[in-house]
Every structure is written in C-alpha cells, then in structure tokens.
Amino acid sequence: MKNKLLNGLQRFSRAMFIPVLILPIAGILIAIGNLFTNPGLLELFPAMDHPALTGFGTILSNALVSILNNLGLVFGVGIAVGLADKKRAEAGFNALLAYLVFIYAMNTFLELNGLLVDPEALQGTGQVMVLGVQILDMGVFLGILLGILTASVHNRFADIEFDNAFQIYGGSRFVFIVLIPVIVLFAILSSYIWPAIQAWINSLGGFINQSGNFGLFIYGMLERLLIPTGLHHLVYTPFLYTSLGGVQEVGGQVFEGARNIYYAEMADPAVQVLSNSVIWDARGISKMFGLIGACLAMYQTAKPENKRKAKAILIPAVFTSFIAGVTEPIEFSFMFIAPLLFVLHSILSGLSMVALNLLNVRAIGPNGFIDFLLYNVPLGIEKTRWPLYLLVGIFFFALYYGVFRLAITKFDLKTIGREASSEETRLYSKQDYEEKRRSQGEEIPKGEATPADQALGLAPTIVAALGGDENIQTITNCYSRLRLTVANPEIVNQEILKNETGASGVMINDENVQVVYGLQVNKIRKAVDEYLGRESNE
C-alpha cells in the first residue's frame, strides 16, 4: 500500500509539471510588460514614454494575468494530459469539456437551490466568477480534481470501441459520454462538501501563516529534503497557487497563492509594496548563492591532484544553478555520497527564507539570476528591497562555504575530488562525452557534434542501462530529470547511467526511475523516444 501510494504521488508530481512549468513564462512576460509601464523607468528613460510602448506593455501584462485568473482550467487540462496513459491530446480536450460542464452544472444547481449570493458582492462569500459563471470558489483545486477525474475515466475507457452504427461513440467520445454524469454528480456533491473543505484549508493556511518564521523554515527545509523523491513539487505548488500561500485583493480582483499574488501586484502600478505572501516563493538564495559557496568548499577541499578536474566539473554546474536555478546537478553530486551535507543544505535553505522574511525582503529569484533581474529590478527598491536580497545571498554564500568546508574536512566526506575513484561522482560535460566516444573508435570531429547528436548517441546506452525496450513502460521528463516507469527495476544499471551517460543521479523507487541529466534532459528524452521508435509523450 505504501509503494502504491508513493507511486501515485510520483506520477501526480510528474503530471503537475505540465501546468507548473508554463506559469513562469507567463510571469516573465508580465515582468517584460511591466518594463514598458514602470513609472521609475519612464522617468529614467523618457523615450520609453510613448503611447505605443506603454500600450504594448499594458496589453502584454493584462493578457498574461488572464492565465492567473483561470488557473483551474490550466491545471485541469495539464494534469489530465500528464496522467493520461495514451491519447493525451484527447484527454486534454475532454478535460476542457469537463471543466465547462462542471461550472455550468454547479451554477445551475446552486441557482435551483437558492444558494447563489449577490454577484455584485462576492468577496468573502466563498463564491467567485469563473469564465463568467458564478460557482463556489474552488480555485486551482477544481482543476486538479477534474484533471485527475478526467484522466482516470480516460485511462479506463479510451480504448473501448463499438461496431456498426455505434462506432462513432467509441474511444474519446465514449470517455466524454461517461464523464458527463460523473462530472454533474461531482458538481452537485461539491456544492455540499466544498464549503467544509474550504473552511479547513483556510484554517490550515491561517495556522501556517500564524506559525510565522518556524512554519516558513519547515516549508523551506522540506522543499529541499524531498528532492530525492521527486515530490518536492507537492510541497511548494499549493503555496504558490492556492489560498495556503495567501489571499490578496489586487486591482479589484482576488488572487490566491504567493506567485499569483506576486504576478498580479507586479502588473499593477498602484501597488506600492508587495504583500507578505510572496515570501513563500523566495527559494532563490540557496540556488543563486548558497550552492555556489558549497561548490567552492568542495573545490578547495578536493585533493590537489584532482582540483583541475573538480573545477571542470563544478563550474558548469555553478553556472546552471546561478543563471537558470537548476540545482540538481550540484545536489546529486553530494546527496547520496554525503547525505549529511544534503541535510545541512536543506536546513540552510529554510533559514535563508526566514532571513528574507525578517528583513521584509519581497524580491524573488526562483529560477536564477535572469528571473531575479526581470522580476525585481523594474519594480524598484521600495517595492521589493532587492538590494537586501543580494546582501542576504552574499551572507549565505559565506555561510554555505563555511558549513560545507567544516563538515567535509571534519568528517572526511568523499565529495567531488576527494573520492577514492575519480569516476564515482562526476558531472559530465559535452567534452567528456565526445572524448569517450572517440576512445571507443567513433569519429567525431571536435566542435561538430550538436547537443541533439550527443543525445541521440547516448540513447542506445541509456536504453540498455534501463533494461531494454521491453523493460521501459513509460518515458517522460521534468525540468532536469528523465522520469520512467519500468517493468523490472532490478535490472536497471545505475553505474552505466552515471559513468557512461553523464547522469548526475539515479533514483529507483519500486517501478519508478528518475535519472538526473540537468538542462539537456529534454533532448535526451526525445532521443530515447526516437531510438525506441515511440511517439513522444510531450
């Protein structure tokens, strides 16, 4: 039962990536729109104060804020696509239909029972307008539940076909036929059940917020500690996109979740100071500064004969963490060989969020320095206090360096450059890969192999290490990991994946396998799909 539950959570976590990874793009575009309408920048650069430019910025920001207003629909379609075993496009389409059926069914039921409140005074009533339809305010949870429900029905009935005149009702059409009564019943039951659930969620959010810095510390620590399981997304996502991360009225509209509130406040020039809720998205200190200090400590404690190699390994990982916020190549370099360091890293990550909160810093940088610049600098110092963010980052750079160096030397931890064999913990580069292929007799002229060529060349080795075509059941990927389900996890060769394909980490939990490749993972997944002759599961 434990494995079944964990497997389900792993699968749900993978599915969450489809909607979650698109939202930062919306945020960046809102930030770009804000550049054209920011009063401070217009004063500094008067040439920007042109109706065409300010109009473009306003349209861009308002257009992207619409995504935040319809997160239920975004998550419903995305999760249905992510959880579908096959015919994913049809699953997504049925999720869209299910969402429309649900909101009109609930609205009609509430109206028939006299439960609708005055639409001109919705705030605080637990009801909200969704796509112009008044229903109970289920927020992003509605999309999550409908996505799961749609995918479950889709996976059960998508292959059912009929003969003769009834054949047009088979497949995805039959899924929709089954969904209609299920969704209508779900809408009716939700009308009775959801108010109690919402009250519990609000009380939980209140408890977490009242717990202050201690709750923030636990949140920040757990968000890192759960990385080996791949379930850390389930920790931060509710705080970023639901009422657990706060509720705030911005420009006459109510937004839930730290990131949604931040984006909305960022797009509204009338907002003078960002709200406290944004602190739940302040995960960038350890990514942009802390782990760089950790890498410096690992480099300086490496054996003298291995320092050159350690530098070649760590510098690309540091760059990726600082610029793009992808930390797993660094974290997996010490996660399993020195778990004490990973626990210390998690504690320090939690403390960094507490430090920002104590200093009333409202800047964010969840995906690295580029995000940090786009999100915070245009808003000005008063609104975000971003210079303090950098000072806190420098402090945690030094703190990480000191703590990691002390732990490595005191306990003789076998981090990069200190291991007994130089092949035990490595982060592979393009040059490593090309040299290895040349050593095996392949002709690869220097500088001519493209990233796609490299990934395609690795595919046979990856497939073999995973037990072959017949052992690989599903293949997906997230931001940095190849995520698979396999028939027999015992035949997966972790050493080959690490030493011959450049994986910086491999995690096996029952039939779920996660292989960490960093930013090139998307190319690797496509190459494996192509090598196996399978249709891409994007």
Please say whether the beta carbons of 424 and 495 come within 8 A. Answer: no
478 is annotated as an active-site residue:
yes
Residue-level length of the chain = 538
For the chain, the farthest-separated pair of C-alpha atoms sits apart, in whole angstroms, at: 79
Burial of 54-64, coded b for 16+ CB within 10 Å and e otherwise, reads beebbebbeeb
Q: Any idea which residue has 């289920």 for tokens?
A: 138
Which position among 187, 313, 478, 515 bears the catalytic label?
478
Residue 124, judged by CB atoms within 10 A of its CB (0-12, 13-18, 19+), counts as: exposed
Q: Any idea which residue has 């420009």 for tokens?
A: 251
- Residue 100 has which token pair? 């429309």
> Closest Cα partner for 442 from 459, 454, 429?
454
Neighbours of 5 (CB within 10 A): 9
What backbone phi and psi angles, to 5 degrees, belong to 516? Answer: -90, 120
Measured CA to CA, the distance from residue 202 to residue 184 in angstroms comes to 26
DSSP assignment, residue 287? I
Q: How many CA atoms lie within 13 A of 308 on its CB side?
A: 1
Measured CA to CA, the distance from residue 428 to residue 430 in angstroms comes to 7
Active site residues: 478
